[in-house]
Amino acid sequence: MLTLYIGNKNYSSWSMRPWVLMRQAGIAFEEVKLRFDSFAPDSDFKQRLQAVSAAGKVPVLVDEGLSVWDSLAISEYLAEKFPEKHLWPQQVLARTQARCMAAEMHSSFTTLRSLCPMNIEAQLPEVGARLWADNPGLREDVRRLETLWTPLLTQAKGPMLFEQFGIVDAFFAPVCMRLITYALPTSPVVQAYVQRVRDLPAVQEWVQAALAEHDFRPFEEPYRSQP
The CATH number of 92-208, from 3.30.1780.10, 2.40.50.90, 3.30.450.20, 1.20.1050.10, is 1.20.1050.10
Average pLDDT over residues 56-73: 96
Strands (E), the chain: 2-6, 29-33, 60-63, 66-68
Which CATH architecture fits 2-85?
3-Layer(aba) Sandwich (3.40)
Distance CA 160, CA 180 (A): 18
For residue 227, what pLDDT is reported?
67
What digits encode the pLDDT tens for the residues 11-30?
999 999 999 999 999 999 99
Distance CA 35, CA 98 (A): 32
Percent of the chain whose predicted confidence (pLDDT) is above 70:
99
Cα–Cα distances (Å) from 48 to 29, 35, 60, 68, 177, in that order, read: 19, 10, 12, 16, 28
| Confidence band of 224 (pLDDT split at 50, 70, 90) | confident
Give me the chain's average pLDDT, please.
Answer: 96
Ramachandran bin of 214, using left for φ above 0, alpha for ψ from -120 to 50, beta for the remaining angles: left
Average pLDDT over residues 89-117: 97
What is the residue type of 76?
E
What digits encode the pLDDT tens for the residues 67-80?
999 999 999 999 99
CB burial of residue 2 (10 Å; 0-12, 13-18, 19+): buried
Average pLDDT over residues 167-196: 98
Whole-structure pTM value: 0.96
| Confidence band of 220 (pLDDT split at 50, 70, 90) | confident
* HSE-CB of 3 using CA atoms within 13 angstroms: 13
For residue 218, what pLDDT is reported?
86
Query: Taking Cα atoms as reference points, which of 118, 115, 138 lies closest to residue 185?
Result: 138
- Farthest CA pair distance, the chain: 51
Average pLDDT over residues 1-6: 97
Locate the domains of the chain by residue range: 2-85, 92-208
